[in-house]
Structure 1
Amino acid sequence: MEKIKVLFICHGNICRSTMSQFVFQDMINKQGLSDQFYIDSAATSREEIGNGPHYGTVAKCREMGIPVLPHKAVQMTKKDYQKYDYLIGMDTWNIRNMTRIAGGDPDRKIYKLLEFADLSEDIADPWYTGNFDETYADVQKGCTAFLEYLKRNGKIR
């Protein structure tokens, strides 16, 4: 069985998308599902390319006991749309930019993270809010709901 390929995406790929990548990787590792997934993250912008995760993301993950993985910010490309099964953005603006980069969403692969939790809200960018606790709570809620969605729909063996 082929791995489920997930790409978490935000504006700069140093706060929300990396936090989502680390949180989701930790969840699947703890449930013994890591062999079924390939997980990464990317940005819609070029502003932070090559930079590591934001110190606030690193601190929050460490506080919560979530391993911080080696990471350097990259930008999403049109090829990513073909490579990944799920391209998951953090907010409405990300979704617009992701759809533009991909040239549309004909295969319905682009999602907003909190939509898996039946919420239409955006995940606030802690780069601007400074509130990594709130972002973490939303990321946790979204990733938990995404994993439940995959289980409910028979995507995980």
Structure 2
Amino acid sequence: MMRILFICHGNICRSTMAEFVMKELVRRHHFEEAYEIASAATSREEIGNDTHWGTREQLDLHHIPYAPRKARQMTRGDYEHYDLLIGFDDENLREIRRIAGGDPDRKIHLLLDFTAHPREIADPWYTGDFVSTYRDVEEGCRSLLHKQRPANGKLPTVIR
């Protein structure tokens, strides 16, 4: 089983968007048994809060199911439990490494590192641009699934 933890600053925008997009890609390809997917924050600022309305709006627009949830902070134990810890910008990566106590197993990556053009994904909490964030997250999740899919698995499709 591949265990993936998506991690952003507050666990209400990018990481939750990626969690639900990836879960839906996995579901649509019948790979549910092969993955454990979750999300967390590097900060304590949003602990206990549900997914941001802008993220929910994009998920609704693209017919991605989601459930009520509560933001949580990443723990050092998450590094041991998960195979991949995926951040969205360089600040996320620094904080993930700080919480994990380093990255000796090379598990920590930016989501768009799995695409043909690696880069950061802007935080829509500050930009207000949830549309571009969704586009980047969806591209990153498709590429991640393509590179980490189960043996004999089909390639992921774009969610419209």
Instruction: Quickly name the TM-score band, shorter chain normalised.
Output: over 0.9
Give the unaligned 5+ runs of structure 1.
none
Using the TM superposition, name which of 116-125 and 128-137 deviates more. Answer: 116-125
1:1-157 maps to which residues of 2 (within 5 A)?
A: 3-151=1-149, 154=151
Q: Alignment partner of 1:41: what SS?
A: strand
The CA deviation string for residues 14-56 of structure 1, in whole angstroms up to 9 with x for no partner, is 0000000000000000000011111100000000000000000
Read off the aligned partner of 1:147 and give its amino acid letter. Answer: L
The percent identity for this pair of structures is: 51
Number of residue equivalences: 154
Which 4+ residue blocks in structure 1 deviate beyond 3 angstroms? 153-157
The separation in 2 between residues aligned to 1:116 and 1:30, in whole angstroms, is: 20
Q: Alignment partner of 1:105: what SS?
A: coil
**TM-score where L is the length of structure 1:** 0.94
The separation in 1 between residues aligned to 2:81 and 2:152, in whole angstroms, is: 17
**TM-score where L is the length of structure 2:** 0.92
The separation in 2 between residues aligned to 1:125 and 1:67, in whole angstroms, is: 22
Give the unaligned 5+ runs of structure 2.
155-160
RMSD (Å), alpha carbons? 1.6
Using the TM superposition, name which of 27-36 and 116-125 deviates more. Answer: 116-125
The separation in 2 between residues aligned to 1:155 and 1:129, in whole angstroms, is: 40
